[in-house]
Amino acid sequence: MESIRYRDTRVDNETVERLRQKMKETPEHGVALFNGYRKYANLQGWRNQQLHEYLGVRVEIYGNYLLCSCGLEALETDIESYALPISDLPKEIAALNLSELIRVHHHVDFSDTPKLITALIVSTTFDWTLNTYLWAAYCQTCFALVVNAEHEDAIMFIDSHNSGHMSSC
């Protein structure tokens, strides 16, 4: 597992506030600063809700590593050895078109002392009729799936699968 490692991706309030202030002070750089603010504010928001950011984030770090917002890094060239092939996934889960990075085991939660998890948020859509986000999540261990779940239901799904499957680890 030498091509799997973890990176601290936590974002503190000061970083988000500093970027927000800079955005106000230098409107000529507005678009770039806004995109940076949005990225860090969103990542901080995901972390504050204890939700695994869906789809991960592709970043070049010390070579060709894929980085998930939870901190999991995997070498792009070796990721196939860790990712479950699409052909082995139940068709309902394969239909979600999960990235290779999300199919890799070894993701961690967003706590101050990260621990391995098996259930992940993998997508979200905004439902304008309900005026809320609906979530899709799946469990890498038993392949259970929840789609179009409201926030509380998605959290209950994740918590129950992570505590049930990971308690013996």
Minimum mean pLDDT range among 35-49, 65-79, 96-110, 113-127: 35-49
Give 62's pLDDT tier (boundaries 50, 70, 90).
low
Strands 119-127 and 132-139: antiparallel
Q: For residue 72, list its beta bridge partners.
A: 6
Question: Domain containing 37: what range?
Answer: 4-166
pLDDT in tens, 145-163: 999 999 899 999 999 999 9
Classify the C-alpha dihedral 149-96-44-24 as positive or negative: negative
Domain count of the fold of the chain: 1
Global pTM?
A: 0.74
Length of the chain: 169
Between 53 and 25, residue with greater pLDDT: 25
